[in-house]
Amino acid sequence: MATHMSRCRGWSRVQRFGIAAYRKYSSGSRYPNISLSAPLPGIPKPVFASVDGQETYETRITVLENGLKVASQNKFGQFCTVGILVNSGSRHEAKYPSGIAHFVEKLAFSSTAQYGSKDEILLTLEKHGGICDCQTSRDTTIYAVSAEVKGLDTVVSLLSDAVLQPRLLDEEIEMTRMAVRFELEDLNMRPDPEPLLTEMIHAAAYRGNTVGLPRFCPADTVDTIDKKVLHSYLSNYYCPERMVLAGVGIEHEQLVECARKYLLDAKPVWGASAGANVDLSVAQYTGGIVKMEKDMSDVSLGPTPIPELTHIMIGLESCSFLEDDFIPFAVLNMMMGGGGSFSAGGPGKGMFTRLYLNVLNRHHWMYNATAYHHSYEDSGLLCIHASADPRQVREMVEIITREFIQMAGSAGEMELERAKTQLKSMLMMNLESRPVIFEDVGRQVLSTGKRKLPHELCDLISNVTASDIKRVSTKMLRSKPAVAALGDLTELPSYEHIQAALSSKDGRLPRMYRLFR
């Protein structure tokens, strides 16, 4: 009976797909041999989406009556990312104790007028599968929530409350002081010195002004920041014309409606925002050196300890992200690339960048050589971070200064095309992530009032030529260097010698003659 049923099933399949669709294999099993190129019988003809030349997911921007900008980009899916970006950060703390932005970041999404505690906020978000986060940088503060689209009304209401109605209770401020102190300890103890070096290079490049002010709260001002100081700062900088409500994955009309409902007539807990004492200082690049002598021998103990290293970062002034030269500088940064000596990967990871080919591949004793580009609305900084054994610091500094000088030479066609392709690839890959699109939309609208779309940026990258790279490099080399040094600095050349090397034709340090070694 079973054999008969099996034969019947086999015959029905033959009738449906044709005799050639089935072949008998040596195992005795039957496997369908369905063509992958010919359409299947009985299947409706598919209808494919077509591109009509218009950008379907164009960023839409609306400015409310109170000056608040609402920007959105539709992206189909069940979840959305919505947040408020404020033009406020550590660069605006010249008239206040340093570290307010650091405190604001830690205090975000604590108790508000509507919610009694952080737990209540998290429970409310959990009903919509949501998470929240706050991040501050030198020039921007971002409050963001990712949640289900149907919870948009709750999300915008919660954001409005978190930004404009925080309670800032004494116990919350005390807990923040503890968190800040712990973070400062961790910053000085962690094996990766990059955050500390970035802080130091900014302090050296913009001594005592704007983006050179400390991003992390200094230990001596932790106890001076209280509710009164925070309210004074927030009343100046948290005003609607300095804010953007950005959303990705939602309809623009819906977001504008929620903005009108919760943010148009919202009264901040600190009273009316005057915005009279806003610091409008323009970044003044000074150059200089910041040194920190530190014993790095016990940074990472264990079965495979990290060897004792000295870390050097050398930077030169580039340009603001509002200038046309920003794109050539981004390509130059990608062309320099770099990484750690134990970094694995292929061409896509940067193994053909200059700092790999000219530095890490030739000098086995160097542990790291990486290029970074920091750009702000009025200035920028292109720097190279390198690390090696303390006895070889002088040689390492000379290798880096030579790389800076060679930037102004002619760029090869192949390496330039590779850098441009890699930059476009990185841009497009990052913009597949919803939170990254949110941040891109928010930051661009906050700084320029509009958004350049990815294909526009790709066109600008494609138009960069070798002469552009040479021009921006030559201009950059005219600025004074900024130097940050961390670790055993016995062999570190003087600042004047580093400056002389960057002014020379070959990037070599002036020779030193010692009577005794």
pLDDT tens digit string along 123-151?
999 999 999 999 999 999 999 999 999 99
Main-chain dihedrals φ then ψ at residue 117, nearest 5 degrees? -160, 170
Per cent of the chain over pLDDT 90 is 77
Q: Residue 290: is its pLDDT beyond 90? A: yes
Q: Distance (Å, rounded) from C-alpha 504 to C-alpha 278?
A: 42
Residue 509 is predicted with a pLDDT of 93
Exposure on the CB side of residue 188, measured as CA atoms within 13 A: 12
Name the nearest CA neighbour of 185 among 213, 214, 212, 217: 217
Residue 72 is predicted with a pLDDT of 96
Confidence bin at 29 (pLDDT 50/70/90): low
Q: How many Å is the Cα radius of gyration of the chain?
A: 29
Q: Distance (Å, rounded) from C-alpha 65 to C-alpha 264?
A: 7
Mean pLDDT, range 306-316, rounded to an integer: 93
Q: Helix/strand/coil (H, E, C) string of 31-81?
A: EECCCCCCCCCCCCCCCCCCCCCCCCCCCEEEECCCCCEEEEECCCCCEEE
Between helix 466-476 and helix 393-407 the angle, nearest 10°, is 130
Cβ atoms of 366 and 388 within 8 Å: the answer is yes
Residue 46 is predicted with a pLDDT of 78
Q: To the nearest whole number, what is the mean pLDDT of the chain?
A: 89
- Poorest-confidence range of 18-32, 159-173, 230-244, 433-447? 18-32
Please, which residues have CB within 8 angstroms of residue 48's CB and are 6 or more apart in sequence? none
Cβ atoms of 157 and 259 within 8 Å: the answer is no
Cβ atoms of 99 and 225 within 8 Å: the answer is yes
Mean pLDDT, range 9-38, rounded to an integer: 57
- Poorest-confidence range of 114-118, 302-306, 468-472? 302-306
pLDDT tens digit string along 34-61?
778 887 888 888 777 665 555 556 899 9
Mean pLDDT, range 492-513, rounded to an integer: 92
Q: Distance (Å, rounded) from C-alpha 472 to C-alpha 411?
A: 12
Question: Which amino acid appears at position 431 of this protein?
Answer: L
Confidence bin at 186 (pLDDT 50/70/90): very high
- Poorest-confidence range of 57-61, 107-111, 223-227, 389-393? 57-61
Pairing of strands 482-487, 288-293: parallel
Q: How far is CA 268 from CA 32, 64, 233, 236, in A?
A: 68, 17, 13, 11
Mean pLDDT, range 212-238, rounded to an integer: 95
Please, which residues have CB within 8 angstroms of residue 109's CB and are 6 or more apart in sequence? 118, 121, 132, 134, 143, 162
Residue 192 is predicted with a pLDDT of 87
Q: How far does CA 442 lie from the centroid of its chain?
A: 13
Please, which residues have CB within 8 angstroms of residue 29's CB and are 6 or more apart in sequence? none
Query: What's this model's pTM, rounded to 2 decimal places?
Result: 0.87
**Higher model confidence: residue 173 or residue 51?**
173
Q: Distance (Å, rounded) from C-alpha 172 to C-alpha 110?
A: 8
Q: Residue 162: is its pLDDT beyond 80? A: yes
pLDDT tens digit string along 148-160?
999 999 999 999 9
Q: Residue 513: is its pLDDT beyond 70? A: no
pLDDT tens digit string along 356-402?
999 999 999 999 999 999 999 999 999 999 999 999 999 999 999 99
Question: Which amino acid appears at position 461 of this protein?
Answer: I
DSSP 118-153: HHHHHHHHHTTT-EEEEEE-SS-EEEEEEEEGGGHH
Between helix 152-164 and helix 118-126 the angle, nearest 10°, is 160
pLDDT tens digit string along 274-286?
666 888 899 999 9
Helices (H) and strands (E) counted in the chain, each on its own, are: 16, 14
**Higher model confidence: residue 76 or residue 164?**
164
**Higher model confidence: residue 295 or residue 135?**
135
